[in-house]
Chains A and B, each alone.
Chain A
Amino acid sequence: MLDGATPSVLDVKDLTTTFKTRVGAVHAVNNVSFNLKAGELLGVVGESGSGKSVTMMSLIGLVPSPPARVTGGPVMFEGQDLLTASNEQLRKVRGARIGFVFQDPMTSLNPVFSVGFQVMEPLRKHMGMNKTRARARARELLDLVGIPDAARRLDDFPHQFSGGMRQRVMIAIALACDPKVLIADEPTTALDVTIQAQIIELMKDLRDKLGMAVIWITHDLGVIAGIADRVLVMYGGQIVEHAPVRDLFANPRHPYTRALLLTVPNVRGERAQRLRVIEGQPPILRAAPTACPFRDRCEHAFDRCSRENPARRLVGPVHDVACFWDPETGASSDV
């Protein structure tokens, strides 16, 4: 449903984030490039420490600097480079043109203000609405995200809501100013499966209704399979594979993606006698990458993998992979 002609709303080039720590630098994000098309849902998968959250935080200036240093770019959004934009300009983008939903709705909501106040806040700050209009709009928003009896619940406080309902409130806040892009960072990880299913349905529904583009960060391949149009797989601070969702699951190219798909047990279909294991630990990113970050855990690694960091190469119309190995021939690509 999305073709090459759909315009990009967000275009990220060579984003790199380094953190200074007492024991040396941590290269959390390395040369990450991707684009986001209007109305699409882009999934970002990876383990903890793979750089998926830091990437998204970096591009809208939400990583504290110092210790972080964000370089590279540009990150083009609505005609301006977010990396060179002033704080003033960024503040107009954040929460208004780009909305956020974080993992834990209890820690992202302020416990001492009513939910209504918090939904009204962006409306009053960014849209300049007065109290009455903002309140009416807040009620509409809570209705939209499926909170029953919205008018009465505006005056309730976050602790009076359940986890799933709190996440709905967060979504309402993120949607308040009708954003172009919504970044959802593990929005269902803290929720139970039955509530997760509700939130996923809600997000799909809202995306169709409002037509915004969504970046959905998760570690759960099952969630990605159900919701994403395109997927970025991240490992060791880099994008190792990028493909449309069906392509990725039907024809994974990177050894990490392939292994990841095999380690996850399923509730339906065949039950494996024994789980496949990816041996070893994810890398600690002490130095700028000069080799493939996955080489120590990769069953196909050969010498070139530890000499050189593979660049992303196209293997299909919109499918690229950062790996020298070719799963079809079993051979490594030419030096």
Chain B
Amino acid sequence: MFDDSTSRRKLVSVSGLKMYFPIRGGLLRRHSGDVKAVDDVSFDIFEGETLGVVGESGCGKSTCGRAVLRLYDLTAGTVLVDGIDISTMGQGALRKIRPVMQMVFQDPQACLNPRMSLADIIGEPLVEHTRLSKADRLARIYELMDAVGLNRDFANRYPHEFSGGQRQRIGIARALALNPKFIVCDEPIAALDVSIQAQVVNLLEDLQKEFGLTYLFISHDLSMVRHIADRVAVMYLGKIVELAAREGLYRDPKHPYTQALLSAVPEPDPVAHDTANRTILKGDVPSPSNPPTGCNFCTRCPQAMEICRQLDPEFREVEPGRFVACHLFNENETAG
């Protein structure tokens, strides 16, 4: 369905994005190093699609999502949203653009103010960014509650009265309030039970169709990302190691890390489990404040070569629409 992705309009365009957090130590709080949470990441998101970002904890996927919305001041790189460069924009100007880009957070308990009623929470962006009258605002709040499947009678209740799944619906309604084009969903289902996860994912899909939304869907759940995303980016230690259309990535993962990650996902089928040939990675993810020389994955890669320990592989297009950062594919290129 997205084969002609090159001709589609880019809604979000990120290039060379870097987000370093300084480490300060000693008496004078001297700058002694950086946590390279996101280290030179580039990707585009086309209008109306869902780009999934997967990776293990600490790989920088959430930081990446927040940096794209300029919740941080970027270390380097440019971010274009709807054709406007927001990478160095000041807070005042940024505020005017905020309605276009919104966010749904992981923990619906922590991101809803316990002292605000549901109507106040959903209505807050309307108060901040629009000049609607009280009656119009309430009408809009009801409209949003209908859209996410919350009963209108709940408008005056408080967050603690709702279950996790319902709270996540409140968070989604708030994100939708200003008719955004682009929503970053940061692990929106991680805190929910399996049977509730499906409800929220289906809701996100319905809303995407209805309002023509574009999602950046961040998750560590590879099977859920396979379900919801059109294209998928795999991150490891601050870098995107592979970016491809969903089907290709899951059917034929190229990067050794993607292969290992997919083979590590336990499958709900005991027969397949007994016959599966698993790659089990050794060791842990290195610290992003002190990444290894060369390829970030070389310390755990089952196919690491000499060059991997010296040279950081380039993130390049190996097939149309398919990007991989691995020396294995550079070699093939030169050999063939």
Q: Which residues of A contact B (CB under 8 A)?
A: 47-48, 162-165, 192-198, 200-201, 219-226, 245-246, 249-250, 259-261, 263-268, 271-272, 274-279, 281-282
Q: Do B261 and A193 have beta carbons less than 8 Å apart?
A: yes
Which stretch (B81-89, B175-183, B198-206) binds chain A? B198-206
Given contacts A164-B284, A192-B220, A225-B273, contact A268 B267 (CB under 8 A): yes
Q: Could you pull out 22 A-B pairs where Cβ atoms are within 8 angstroms?
A: A162-B285, A192-B285, A193-B56, A194-B260, A194-B280, A200-B266, A222-B268, A225-B266, A225-B270, A225-B273, A226-B267, A246-B271, A260-B194, A263-B194, A263-B198, A265-B223, A267-B222, A271-B227, A272-B227, A274-B202, A275-B227, A276-B198
CA distance A281 to B169 in the complex (A): 14
Decide if A223 touches B202 in the complex (CB within 8 Å). Answer: no
| B267 neighbours in A (Cβ, 8 Å) | 222, 225-226, 266-268
Q: How far is the CB of B279 from chain A (nearest CB, A)?
A: 9
B270 and A245: CB pair below 8 A?
yes
B contact residues around A162 at 8 Å (CB): 284-285
Render B64-108 as a binary contact track against A, CB cut-off 8 A, 1 for contact. Answer: 000000000000000000000000000000000000000000000
Q: Are A197 and B250 in contact (CB under 8 A)?
A: no
Q: Is the CB of A266 within 8 A of B278?
A: no
Q: Considering only CB atoms, which chain A residue lies closest to B165 in the complex? A: A281
Of the candidates B57, B224, B266, B272, the one whose C-beta lies within 8 Å of that of A265 is B224
B4 at the interface (CB under 8 A from A): no
Residue in A47, A195, A246, A259 with the greatest tally of chain B CB atoms within 10 Å: A195
B250–A268 contact, CB under 8 A? yes
Q: Please determine whether A267 and B250 come into contact, CB atoms closer than 8 angstroms.
A: yes
Q: Are A194 and B202 in contact (CB under 8 A)?
A: no
- Complex: A193 Cα to B224 Cα, angstroms: 14
B136 within 8 A of A: no
Digitize B132-176: 1 where CB-to-A-CB distance is under 8 Å, 0 elsewhere: 000000000000000000000000000000010100000000000
CA of A171 to CA of B159, assembled, Å = 38
A10 to chain B, nearest CB (A): 23
Q: State whether B269 touches A197 (Cβ < 8 A).
A: no
Interface centre among A196, A263, A268 (most CB of B within 10 A): A268
Q: How far is the CA of A320 from the CA of B49 in the complex (A)?
A: 45
Contact B268 A194 (CB under 8 A): no
Asked if A277 and B269 sit within 8 Å, CB to CB, the answer is: no
A260 to B222, CA, bound (A): 18
The answer to whether A222 and B284 touch across the interface, beta carbons within 8 angstroms, is: no
